[in-house]
Amino acid sequence: MGRTSTFSDEKIFSAVSSQIAEGNEFRIQALAHEAGISVGSLYHRYGSREELLALAWLDAVQAFQHRFLTVLREGGAAAGERAALETPRFCRMQRDRAVILCVGRREALMSDKAPPEILRNVEALNADTHSALMTFAKQENFSLQACLHGIVAFPLASVRLYLPRHPVPRSTDAFIRAAYRSAIGVCSREAG
């Protein structure tokens, strides 16, 4: 019978987020020290540095995309705006995961040495999100480019002004809302 783990993924992923926020190169030894566990325990649990980082990325992507896709799939033109506002909301509610997604570099966290099943899971999540954005754009007769700018790019750029050093202020929502409406407005003017 195996021993019960004395640490959670959440604790470890929080330490990953902390290292990303510091802007230093990721080091297993520093992570183990911050989490208060041994390097051996980390390797026993995650197998490799690449697996640990990939799982932290996957955890953050799943947490964000679950709510984002739920809102976007509610339908109607306002769903795009609500989905755009999920980015700052996520950053305020789940800061550690937001730092991993918004500040961490995907290439560093999801190396080609990560376990293939994790890479496939992330690609499937990304494909699902892209499909949902295409469906939303088609249903609302918006260009996909306008949706990508208004729902994804502008919100991400806005929160990156603050993370990882500062909380994302609520005032950011007004700018994201305006950027979304502007992107969709450009789309409407081009169609007219």
Judge whether 184 lies within some domain. yes
Judge whether 51 lies within some domain. no
Judge whether 136 lies within some domain. yes
Judge whether 4 lies within some domain. no
Question: What gap in Å lies between CA 182 and CA 188, rounded to an integer?
Answer: 10
What tokens appear for 168 in the block? 């994302």
Residue 78, domain extent: 56-191
Judge whether 15 lies within some domain. no
Binned average pLDDT, 10 residues per bin, the chain of 192 residues: 67 91 84 90 91 94 96 92 98 96 86 91 94 95 94 97 96 97 75 46
Amino acid of residue 176: I
* DSSP character string of 154-167: HHHHHHHTTTTTSP
Question: What gap in Å lies between CA 164 and CA 73, rounded to an integer?
Answer: 29
Q: Which of 64, 144, 134, 146 is CA-nearest to residue 97? A: 64
Judge whether 87 lies within some domain. yes
pLDDT of residue 76: 86
Query: What pTM does this model have?
Result: 0.89
